[in-house]
């Protein structure tokens, strides 16, 4: 169960990155080309927010199953360490992934409000860029890029 869940969480990371890339591309292009902030821009933002949200839920379940999740946190409380995989997954990965969701959600929600397109783009660009940077920093790139079940 744990290994399968980890493989899914590994794979869905690419869906998060693809949806982030698509949303970013749409809002930066729309901003530079001075397009109207339309259905496509809004839907791609929604897709990114949903896929990211689902990945967080998958991650939280994995946090319960993995030796690097809640169990790591318990170990760290007894023996605090900073530069280990235990600390990375037990604390940093969880925190950065949760915190980075805030600008993405905010960018999407603010861009949905009635406003001029330029302002919508600015909210979306700022939110998605910040969130994606957080995701990129918190992905354990040294782990396998694809895990087969």
96/122 with CB nearer ligand HEM: 96
CB of 19 to ligand HEM, least distance (A): 10
6/120 with CB nearer ligand HEM: 6
CB of 41 to ligand HEM, least distance (A): 22
76/122 with CB nearer ligand HEM: 76
What is the token pair recorded at 135?
């995701």
6/42 with CB nearer ligand HEM: 6
What is the token pair recorded at 102?
């805030």
Instruction: Give CA–CA dist 90/131, Å, rounded.
Output: 20
Instruction: State which residue has the least CB distance to ligand HEM.
Output: 59
CB of 67 to ligand HEM, least distance (A): 6
φ, ψ of residue 51 in degrees (nearest 5)? -65, -40
Burial grade of 134 (CB within 10 A; 0-12, 13-18, 19 or more): buried
**Residues found near ligand HEM in the complex (CB under 6 A):** 6, 9-10, 13, 16, 55-56, 59-60, 62-63, 66, 68-69, 89, 93-94, 97-98, 135, 139-140, 143-144, 147
What is the token pair recorded at 75?
């170990």
149 in Cβ contact with 5 (< 8 Å):
no
Strand extents, DSSP E, the chain: none
């Amino acid at each position: 169960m744990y290994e399968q869940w980890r493989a899914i969480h590994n794979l869905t990371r690419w869906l998060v990155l693809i949806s982030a890339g698509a949303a970013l591309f749409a809002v930066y292009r729309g901003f530079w080309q001075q397009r109207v902030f339309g259905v496509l821009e809004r839907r791609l933002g929604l897709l990114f927010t949903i896929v990211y949200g689902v990945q967080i839920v998958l991650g939280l379940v994995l946090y319960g199953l993995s030796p690097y999740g809640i169990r790591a946190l318990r170990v760290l409380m007894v023996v605090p360490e900073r530069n280990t995989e235990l600390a990375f997954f037990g604390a940093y990965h969880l925190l950065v992934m949760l915190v980075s969701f805030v600008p993405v959600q905010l960018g999407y929600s603010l861009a949905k409000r009635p406003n001029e397109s330029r302002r919508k783009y600015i909210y979306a660009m700022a939110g998605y860029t910040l969130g994606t940077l957080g995701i990129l920093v918190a992905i354990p790139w040294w782990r396998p890029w694809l895990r087969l079940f």
